[in-house]
Amino acid sequence: MALSEFLQELDALKSDASQRFEEASTQEGLESARVEFMGAKQGKLKATQKQMGTVDKADKPMAGKKLNEVKSAIDSAFEAAQSRLQAGAGGGADSAKGPRFDVTVPGATVQLGRLHPITQTIEELKDIMGRLGFSVVEGPEIEDVWHNFEALNISPEHPARDPLDNFYIGLAQATNNEPRLLRSQTSTVQIRVMEKTKPPIRIISLGRVYRPDEVDATHYPMFHQMEGLLIDQRVTMSDLKSVLRLFATSYLGGDVHIRFRPSFFPFTEPSVEADYYWDGRWVEFGGAGMVDPAVLTAVGYDPEQVTGFAFGLGIERLCMMRHNIRDIRHLFNNDTRFLSQF
Ligand code: DAH
């Protein structure tokens, strides 16, 4: 056989084999192409190789070199087809196996969200007070002067009504020229409940309040309070003390001491500041007292018939005590490195 003829045959073989390998869309198809071209006995490559014996002796080195090139080209065409099928890219309509997955590749971790520590605290407070028989009510965060001050016996000249100490909303937005403000205390909800409900009453209300305070480690212009109100016949100060002590014991755990210091709030008489004993010191807990007869009258109750107590506690402080948080700003910076610890 002439050298040129032999070389041509090799070239044809190479392109035939590559084409068949490329076209194979299943392992089986590829395997039969492999046997056809690379089979050790009947393979076409083998057959062509045998013909080398008929090439002139002088041309043999050339023929041998070409044969080796074609062999390794066919080998790599086969390997390429093999890995294409294994990667699943050859998954044509007749692919038997479908795409392959590497089950050892680490999965993408899903970052689950969690409840904000203040929300968690609120849920716990509701739970504790619920066991003491208090049900939860809500009130609006935008209030009128009647509910935020007037009905609570806070007179127009009282410093708590100072525009600089409150977030009044521009008169342009007010209905009937009646000023409104972001509520500065949850005591507003006491009024709203008593206006609508006859005694006995046993409620708590937890939510946001707003005051234009300078921000520092213990102040923030928005914070949360829990308000409590109990109205019934013959309610006394000792009932108030029992409820606050049971509450503190449940929230802080163990036998917590509490003490009352005389204080003043326009809507309670007498008024107290309640402290509890925690971690070797007295900690301020919130304000409380017996509901002032003027407040009972403002909502249409008869102070001769019913009495009651009320209290208001700062939720941030309770949460910060429990978790040893030293700066209130952590709670509102929304840094997930902080929040994800709770
Ligand atoms: N509203 C008061 C405040 O924001 C807290 C308070 C004191 C609430 C005495 C009460 C109470 O219900 O009886 O500082």
How buried is 206 (Cβ within 10 angstroms: 0-12 exposed, 13-18 middle, 19+ buried)? buried
Q: What CA–CA distances, in Å, run from 249 to 66, 125, 236, 253, 255?
A: 93, 12, 20, 5, 6
Q: Please give the distance, rounded to the nearest whole angstrom, from the Cα atom of residue 28 to the centre of ligand 1.
A: 82
Please report which confidence band the pLDDT of residue 153 belongs to, taking 50, 70 and 90 as the band edges.
very high
Percent of the chain surpassing pLDDT 70 = 95
Please report which confidence band the pLDDT of residue 173 belongs to, taking 50, 70 and 90 as the band edges.
low
Any ligand 1 atom below 6 A from CB of 311:
yes
Q: Which of residues 171 and 169 earns the better pLDDT score?
A: 169
Q: For 45-90, how does the pLDDT look when each residue is reduced to its tens digit (9 = 90+)?
A: 998 888 888 999 899 899 999 999 999 999 999 999 988 888 875 4
Q: Which of residues 249 and 99 earns the better pLDDT score?
A: 249
Q: How far apart are CA 155 and CA 296, in angstroms?
A: 16
Please report which confidence band the pLDDT of residue 170 belongs to, taking 50, 70 and 90 as the band edges.
confident
Beta strands (DSSP E) in the chain are 135-136, 142-144, 168-169, 180-182, 201-210, 222-232, 258-265, 268-278, 281-291, 307-314
pLDDT at 174 > cutoff 70: no
Any ligand 1 atom below 6 A from CB of 289:
yes
pLDDT at 95 > cutoff 60: no
State pTM to two decimals: 0.70
Q: For 284-321, how does the pLDDT look when each residue is reduced to its tens digit (9 = 90+)?
A: 989 999 999 999 999 999 999 999 999 999 999 999 98
Q: Which of residues 96 and 240 earns the better pLDDT score?
A: 240
Q: What is the mean pLDDT of the chain?
A: 92
Any ligand 1 atom below 6 A from CB of 276:
no
Query: 117-339: what CATH class?
Result: alpha beta
Percent of the chain surpassing pLDDT 90 = 75
pLDDT at 91 > cutoff 50: no
Number of H helices, E strands in the chain: 11, 10
Any ligand 1 atom below 6 A from CB of 314:
no
pLDDT at 273 > cutoff 60: yes
Q: Could you write out the three-class secondary structure of 86-150?
A: HCCCCCCCCCCCCCCCCCCCCCCCCCCCCCCHHHHHHHHHHHHHHHCCCEECCCCCEEEHHHHCH
3-17, 90-104, 126-140, 194-208: which range is least confident on average?
A: 90-104
Give the residue-averaged pLDDT of 257-282: 94
Query: Which of ligand 1's atoms lies nearest the C-alpha of 229?
Result: 12
Q: For 209-252, how does the pLDDT look when each residue is reduced to its tens digit (9 = 90+)?
A: 999 999 999 999 999 999 999 999 999 999 999 999 999 999 98
pLDDT at 42: 87
Q: Whose CA is nearest to atom 7 of ligand 1?
A: 287
Q: Whose CA is nearest to atom 8 of ligand 1?
A: 312
* Segments of the chain assigned to CATH 3.30.930.10: 117-339
Any ligand 1 atom below 6 A from CB of 117:
no
Please report which confidence band the pLDDT of residue 96 belongs to, taking 50, 70 and 90 as the band edges.
low
Give the residue-averaged pLDDT of 97-120: 87
